[in-house]
Amino acid sequence: MPEKSNDPHKTSWIPVPQNSDFPIQNIPFGVFLTRDDVITIGTRIGDQAIDLGALHQLGYFKDIPLTDDIFLQDTLNDFISDGKKTWRLVRNRISEIFDSGNPELQGNKEHQKIVLFTMDEVEMQLPVQIGDYTDFYSSKEHATNVGKMFRDPENALLPNWLHIPVGYHGRSSTIIPSGTPIRRPMGQTLPKGSTSPVYGASKMVDFELEMAFITTDANIMGEPIPIEEAEDYIFGLVLFNDWSARDMQKWEYVPLGPFLAKNFASSISPWIVTLDALTPFRVPSPAQDPEPLPYLQQKGDKSYDIHLEVAITPDKGEPTTVTRSNFRHMYWTMAQQLTHHTVNGCKVNSGDMMGSGTISGATPDSYGSMLELAWQGTQPITLSNGELRKSINDLDTVTLKGFCEKDGLRIGFGEVSTKLLPALTTE
């Protein structure tokens, strides 16, 4: 079904600045607090936040079967539960209301006053209540780099990696929206050359450049999702910084995998960009050799061309872009991840979040973490002010950005930006 809202020639009566991530073709979904302290579900065009709760109350969605309070909520979970058909009806209707040729709301200043906010009048919230969070490890380049550093350069990829989208169950309690500062974590590490661990602040706090997808209710317990249906259960994507304490990770991860090195904070961008909006940017994913088992075999263009970058901004300094990567480098696709996740009957719910894993490209300037960019501290990165970084310093701000661009159409994710504060030491 072609998406009317994707028409690249469509323009909005809301001004859209040059190079904005949010033209009328994007129509992402988020949750924000308004200047009147009301929490609502909304979307964004240009630099205007649009209150969907108010639009619905004013009757603009009367032809779509929606409950009265569907947008008057502090999370998107119920709306996401309504399913793909409803998401499409709502996106197409928003696209119609804000089309330059439509006088309905364009000519009604009273309604505009109720519905429109500038971005600096709203405070973005976490868009969904994340029930469960899983993080994959699906970039071959990243898994190879980490395998070389943490284990054995000769056998960097473990034997299961090319057959299974490897992942672990993370923790959703510490997933936070962009703008929320975090603390350097305390914990155990094993100093180099020592045989007993010490307690203290992590000395190697790192970002992980990831994206994450948000699901709808996908299956009943016991029933897997076939690969050809998997994308129907993916609502959309956000940028995802999976904060990591590398020194703690190295000590704790054997034999059960990531734990406290990962769950002190994970930051996401606040606008969920739908898979429908990303359709024009579909691209093939890397060839898979060996061929995956039949339940993981997927046809067509399986990935998306999403440019990604990370900048570090020191306290009172200018940002330095430290890496540029692309979502299309992912070896395992989202559909393969979701299908594999449910092959045993594991239930996936509306608002669950699945991280891609760190997205590293093939070249050293496209690696998705400081661990790889500075190669475990041996090749520090130089910032624009001349300072060196092997990992993230106190008071540094880390900002991830992402966007797609093709034939003059740019659809983006905005950013996820997080400041690292000093540890709350208890020593």
- One-letter amino acid at 400 equals L
Residue 143 buriedness (CB in 10 A; 0-12 / 13-18 / 19+): buried
Query: Does 141 help bind Mn ion (rule: CB under 5 A)?
Result: no
Phi, psi of 373, rounded to the nearest 5 degrees: -60, -40
Min CB(359)–Mn ion separation in Å: 10
Min CB(269)–Mn ion separation in Å: 16
Which one of the spans 33-41, 92-100, 127-135, 147-155 is the region binding Mn ion (CB under 5 A)? Answer: 127-135
Among 208, 309, 372, 415, binds Mn ion (CB under 5 A): 208
Q: Which residue is nearest to Mn ion (CB)?
A: 242
Bridge partners of 177, per DSSP, are 268
Please indicate whether residue 307 is annotated as part of the active site: no
Query: Does 352 help bind Mn ion (rule: CB under 5 A)?
Result: no
Residue nearer to Mn ion on the CB measure, 208 or 352: 208
Min CB(358)–Mn ion separation in Å: 6
Q: Residues 372-377: contacts with CB within 8 Å, 24+ apart?
A: 372/142, 372/145, 372/146, 372/149, 373/322, 373/323, 375/149, 376/149, 377/204
First to last CA, the chain: 61
Residue nearer to Mn ion on the CB measure, 21 or 208: 208
Min CB(133)–Mn ion separation in Å: 11
Min CB(208)–Mn ion separation in Å: 4
Q: What distance in Å separates the CA atoms of residue 230 and residue 354, rounded to the nearest whole number?
A: 13
- One-letter amino acid at 349 equals N
Min CB(369)–Mn ion separation in Å: 9
Which one of the spans 109-117, 140-148, 203-211, 320-328 is the region binding Mn ion (CB under 5 A)? Answer: 203-211
Which one of the spans 74-82, 236-244, 267-275, 411-419 is the region binding Mn ion (CB under 5 A)? Answer: 236-244
Residue nearer to Mn ion on the CB measure, 201 or 261: 261
Residues 295-314 within binding reach of Mn ion (CB under 5 A): none
Which one of the spans 38-46, 135-143, 274-282, 378-386 is the region binding Mn ion (CB under 5 A)? Answer: 135-143
Q: Do 91 and 31 form a contact (C-beta atoms < 8 A)? A: no
Which one is catalytic: 56, 142, 329, 341?
142
Token pair listed for 140:
């071959």
Query: Does 135 help bind Mn ion (rule: CB under 5 A)?
Result: yes
Token pair listed for 60:
């603009």
Please, how many CA atoms are within 13 Å of residue 248, restricted to the half-sphere of its CB?
22
Binding residues for Mn ion, rule CB under 5 A, total: 3
Which stretches does DSSP call E strand in 81-233?
Answer: 116-118, 123-124, 133-136, 167-169, 175-177, 182-183, 186-189, 198-201, 205-206, 209-215
Among 21, 82, 141, 242, binds Mn ion (CB under 5 A): 242
Site for Mn ion, rule CB under 5 A: 135, 208, 242
Please identify every residue annotated as catalytic.
142
